[in-house]
Structure 1
Amino acid sequence: MENDGGHRRHLYFTAIIVSLGYSSVGCVFSWTSPTLPRLMAKDSWLPITEEQGSWIASIMAIGGTIGPLLSGKLLDCLGRKWTLILAALLLIISWIVLALASCVEILYGGRIISGFSTALMFMALILYIAEISDEVSRGMLSSTSEFSLAIGFNLQYFAGPYLSYKMLIVVSVCLPILFILLFIWLPESPHYLIAKGKKEESIKSLRWFRGNIPRDCAEKEIVIIESTMYEMIKKKESFWTLMKVTGNQKALGIACFLMAAQQFSGINVIQLYSEMIFMYSGTKLKPAYCSMIVGTFQLISSGLAAPLTKKFGFKTPLLIASILITIEHFVMGLFFYLLKTGRDVSSIDWIPVVCMVLYILTYSATYGPLPWGVIGEIFPTNLKANASSIVAAINFSTTFLVTKFFTNISEYFGISVSFWIFSVSMIVSFFFVLILQPNTKGMSLQDIQDKLNEKRIKPNINQS
């Protein structure tokens, strides 16, 4: 079916609205960076201890672990559109709870709701985008996630130091409100409508997303979608039956490890505690300014993943990133070790900023988006939804472990040990990716499944 850029104007408009959802998620993750130092200050309106601060930062991930496990039922019952609206409404409620909090326990409750809603929104956005896109626009729509998340991070980094506690929440809650006001007018996913037997509505939805193409063109695409869904239903088996297949077991193992490695690279520690880390480093620059610098580079580097993947695939960038992050965190740990042992580091107090910038550049182009891309490749279609929910739950569970115990380890053993743990984790990740992750560059989805199941693959002369 022919389609020019004008026919995709509705898809591009949808991409802008979807970016508001991702930016809302980014605000939740980085809200603690400017907020925790303020709450832990002596003149805080709600004084908290460092231990309570670690719970405020990490408890969000408990709600995030539940979100993916319930997302499948909600997406099937409510649909993609209303699940996303529900997620945004819950996000608004969480901000209201945080704004009205009168004790630390209410802050915990607000953060749990935040985690649940962000996980639900993330899972629903991925599915919605996949189902409304055509082949040409899919890459563009999918690539909005990392950039849009970075916008949310930067909103907190740049606005947080200059706004009061409640005003920062007011600014943050505007994003999910705007998302609902715009998204509510968009059509439901044509795939979901077909699954519910609403063929006429699915044709109308598809025509809108394709720029009001002729009805016969939409009907042809609907037939293809119906055929694909019919094949999936024919092959549908229970998750645990599918997991008896060797290739599926390998895929789940690889996916879960990459999600754990993503978090043990230290990303959420950087995002949630960036101002505190710079404060501990004693750098001459204000900690808030350092966070702004890191956030700016994250925004810049978020567009590098797509060209890297296109040229090198997934495996090579992950291997190189593992080495770079290992070095960056080792140097960061060494700096804090010298600082703790009383060495004069005033002449090298620029090291934390440089290391953090290099880390965020590396992460945003590799360990941020690529593990999700690997998941899209290594699971068969009839396993992808259930597997993605489990993998996302693993991601949030690991997020909780890393963010909760970062401050405990830093307090008892020194912040240098925390960064060295991240460094060692990346060494482990390097060897895992090198030995166990298949190099899927130039391979079809069927070839990938054959490789995971150790079947002989016919050579493809067109592979680059």
Structure 2
Amino acid sequence: MERESRGQLNSSLLAEETNSAESLKGGSSATAVLVFSTFIAVCGSYVFGATVNLGLSEGQYSVFASIMTIGAMLGALMSGKVADLVGRRGAMGISEAFCLTGWLAIAFSQAAWLLDIGRLFGGCGVGLLSYVVPVYIAEITPKNLRGGFATVHQFMVTFGSAMTYFVGTVVSWRILALIGAIPCLIQLLGLFLIPESPRWLAKVGKENECEDALQRLRGVNADISQEATEIEDYIEALQQLPEGSILELFQRIYARSLIIAVGLMLLQQFGGSNAIAFYASSIFEKAGFSATVGTVVMAVVQIPMTVLGVLLMDKLGRRPLLMASASGTFFGCLLVGVSFSLQDIQWWKDVTPVLVFIGLVIYNGSFGLGLGGIPWLIMSEIFPINMKGSAGSLVSLVNWFSSWIITYIFNFLMDWYSAGTFFIFASIGGLTVIFVAKMVPETKGRTLEEIQVIINPLTAKR
């Protein structure tokens, strides 16, 4: 019976793919409800960036900073299950309750332990947000707009991080924490005004609510019949399959999705992303360049590059942007590595600090172009909805755990061999280009159901 249902699902989606491809050029437009729903969702992304950046201005991965990462791992571990049980809106509400509690605990703390508790709660919220925001946006957005809308998540993470840094230079940390609570409140209130994910509603058997939500998102005059039918047919076939657990992710039919999602997260983190962000000040100081100038320029450059990624996502596609982004991180790290090597042998001592600065700016800008946000977008696209909760928890946990590892060992690596550290990061950037070229499919312009035909056919071949 399971093989038969998988085969029926695959056949029906292949037949629908032709009809969907014919309507691709026209696509769907961005309605006011869709834009507003995305805005409310990415308020959580802003909180993500602000929470990560708080307390890292000194460039030291302190206990205060590491507690946030531990909390994020806990949040990531329960993110998929929470989003499946209470819905995407419910999960965002729970995450913001964690974040709001964390900000207020920090703002009104009278003892060090309360600061740590606040940081832990904020981390739990961020771990949930890092999964549910891109998933919600991917599930509410039409295929021709999904890439650009989903990439707004990374833009708001970047913007939240940059604004926290800039505002933190002129206000106290208590005021900064209170400011951080504002987008939490905006999202909590906004969640009452936006529709739930139609795909989640269909998954839990609320077909009428699914169609109502889809109609609100696409516009009152839009014809949603084809999209609603595709969603409902796909969910109906999936309901004949068991609800996915983390152990079931390791079946052969999900192998490619798991390799792609976990691989991209590992390459993103071990390519140096959070390590460079957290330790930017100390890297500039070691190179002999102004830490203040360097970190400000890095923050400023990443914002327009992330905007460029948003604009190009649904024009060029995920693969070209990922490969261009990874190529840029490769070149940036290579330049920094060469600069530290020249410093070690006392060559071009007046030039090498500037070369380190240029290399890190190239790295940060290139990372914002695609590697920062696209892995989260692809993670939200490539798993079937019956496995999305378990897969999201596992993949988010891998991301945060690898982030903790690389940020923890970064100082040891720099003490061992500064140039070698960046040569390692550069080699991982090059490996990312190869990995994307060989493993990652192009998902631009396809519905989430069509993507499953390509990457997880859900059929047992004999």
Task: Measure the CA separation in 2 of the matches of 1:63 and 1:241.
Answer: 23
Q: Distance in 2 between matches of 1:198 and 1:317?
A: 37
Task: Identify which of 49, 55, 79 aligns with 1:26.
Answer: 49
CA drift of 1:220 comes to 7.4
In the superposition, the TM-score normalised over structure 2's length comes to: 0.80
> What is the CA deviation profile of residues 344-377 of structure 1, one whole-angstrom value per residue up to 9, with x for unaligned ones?
7334432232112111121122322232344355
3-state SS of paired residue (1:346): coil
Aligned to 1:426: 429
Contact kept? 1:264, 1:426, Cα under 8 Å: no
1:160 aligns with 2:157: no
CA positional deviation for 1:105: 4.8
Kindly provide the CA deviation profile for residues 114-154 of structure 1, in whole angstroms up to 9, marking residues without a partner as x: 22101212222223223333344433421311221221122
1:235 maps onto 2:241 in alignment: yes
2:267 counterpart of 1:261: yes
In the TM superposition, what is the alpha-carbon distance from 1:8 to its structure 2 partner? 1.1
Deviation at 1:86, TM superposition (A): 1.6
Residue in 1 aligned with 2:350? 346
Q: Deviations over 1:2-24 (max 9, x none)?
A: 9975x811111222222322111
**Counterpart in the other structure of 1:460:** none
- Residue 86 in 1 paired to residue 94 in 2? yes
> Match of 1:41?
none
Deviations 1:279-326 (A, max 9, x none): 33332x4x2332221112111111333565556654455445444423
Q: Quick one: which of 433, 436, 439 aligns to 1:437?
A: 439
Q: 1:120 to 1:265 in 2, by over 3 A?
A: same
Cα 1:183–1:309, aligned 2, differ >3 Å: closer, same or farther?
closer
**Deviation at residue 83 of structure 1 after TM alignment:** 1.8
2:138: which partner in 1? 130
Cα–Cα, structure 1 residues 162 and 306, in superposed 2: closer, same or farther, change >3 Å? closer
* 1:83-232 correspondence runs (5 A): 83-101=91-109, 105-213=113-221, 222=228, 224-232=230-238
Partners of 1:16 and 1:206 in 2: CA distance = 17
Query: 1:335 maps to which residue?
Result: 339
The secondary structure found in structure 1 opposite 2:31 is helix
In structure 1, what is the equivalent of residue 84 of structure 2?
A: 76
Q: Which runs of 5+ in 1 are unaligned?
A: 38-49, 456-464
Deviations 1:64-123 (A, max 9, x none): 222232123322332222221121121111122333445655444333322210121222
Mapping of residues 273-292 of structure 1, within 5 Å: 273-283=279-289, 285=290, 287-292=291-296
Deviates more, 1:421-430 or 1:238-247: 238-247
The change in CA–CA distance for 1:117 and 1:438 in structure 2 (over 3 A counts) is: closer
Relative to structure 1, the CA distance from residue 14 to residue 240 in structure 2 (aligned partners, 3 Å threshold; closer, same or farther) is closer
Aligned residue number for residue 12 of structure 1: 35
Is contact 1:326-1:427 (8 Å) kept? yes
CA separation of 1:143 and 1:318: change in aligned 2, threshold 3 A: closer
Query: Is the alpha carbon distance of 1:343 and 1:396 closer, same or farther for their aligned partners in structure 2, counting shifts above 3 Å?
Result: same
Bigger mean CA offset, 274-283 vs 340-349: 340-349
The CA deviation at 1:401 is 0.5
Residues 57, 403 of structure 1: 8 Å contact kept: no
Is the Cα–Cα contact under 8 Å of residues 27 and 155 in structure 1 kept in the other structure? yes
The answer as to 2:449 corresponding to 1:449 is: no
The equivalent of 1:461 in structure 2 is: none
- Structure 1 residues 206 and 25 mapped into 2: Cα distance closer, same or farther (>3 Å)? same
Greater shift in the superposed pair: 361-370 or 315-324: 315-324
What secondary structure, in the 3-state scheme, does the structure 2 residue paired with 1:59 have?
helix
CA contact (8 A) 1:146 1:302 kept: yes
- CA distance in 2: counterparts of 1:27 and 1:89, whole angstroms: 16
**Which stretch has the larger CA shift, 71-80 or 131-140?**
131-140
Task: Select between 379-388 and 116-125 the one with higher mean Cα deviation.
Answer: 379-388
Q: Determine the C-alpha separation between the residues in 2 that align with 1:329 and 1:256.
A: 23
Structure 2 distance, partners of 1:296, 1:343, is: 30
> How many residues of Structure 1 are paired with residues of Structure 2 in the alignment?
434
- Cα deviation, residue 201, structure 1: 4.4
* Equivalent position amino acid for 2:91 in 1: T
- Structure 2 Cα separation of the partners of residues 279 and 310 of structure 1: 39
Are the aligned partners of 1:305 and 1:370 in contact in 2 as well (CA < 8 Å)?
no
In structure 2, the CA distance between the partners of 1:63 and 1:425, relative to structure 1 (3 Å rule), is same
Q: Which amino acid aligns with 2:455?
A: Q
> How far off is 1:190 after superposition?
3.6
Alpha-carbon spacing, 1:136–1:254, altered in 2? closer, same or farther (3 Å):
closer
Does the 8 Å contact 1:239/1:386 carry over to 2?
A: yes
Contact 2:151–2:377 (Cα < 8 Å) also in 1: no
Contact residue 190 and residue 205 of structure 1 kept, 8 A? yes
Shift in CA distance, 196/448, structure 1 to aligned 2, threshold 3 Å:
closer
Identity %: 25
- Cα deviation digits, residues 202-223 of structure 1 (max 9, x gap): 4544443333448xx5677655
Task: Output the CA distance in 2 between the equivalents of 1:292 and 1:453.
Answer: 51
Counterpart of 2:391 in structure 1 is 387
